[in-house]
Amino acid sequence: MVLEHALLKIIPGQQHDFEKAFSQAQSIIAGIKGYRKHSLSRCIEMPNTYLLLVEWECLEDHTHGFRLSPEYQQWKILLHHFYTPFPEVIHFNQVNFTEDFAH
């Protein structure tokens, strides 16, 4: 499993419109091969900042499967005009511990 992390800074005053557009766009990403789940959270201290987390089966499902798909063009049309600046997207692997820390 790969976790995609994107910190989305939205043009101030556009949060409501962004959330409305995202509610439409989320069905696009959910239909992509390798998609597992996602969440979108709004920052308390900076209300025009959002955290998007997306779980993928593997990195290529996002970087090639989604980013090179026709569906990504629809995603871009719905969402990319809200970002300032364009977000950095990074990926994480889960750390698995072998010891039991619940002593």
DSSP state, 54? Answer: E
Q: What's the pLDDT tens digit per position in 41-53? A: 999 999 999 999 9
Tokens of 29: 């990403």
Are 34 and 61 a contacting pair, CB within 8 Å?
A: yes
Q: What is the pLDDT of residue 98?
A: 77
Domain edges within the chain: 27-46+57-70
The model's pLDDT over 5-20, given as tens digits with 9 standing for 90+, comes to 999 999 999 999 999 9
**Which sign, positive or negative, has the C-alpha torsion 73, 78, 83, 87?**
negative
Burial state string for 65-97 with b = 16 or more CB within 10 A and e = fewer than 16: bbeebebeeebeebbeebbeeebeeeeeeeeee
**Beta strands, E only, 1-103:** 2-9, 35-42, 49-56, 89-93
Alpha-carbon dihedral sign for residues 85, 47, 76, 40: positive
Kindly tell me if the per-residue pLDDT of 27 is higher than 60.
yes
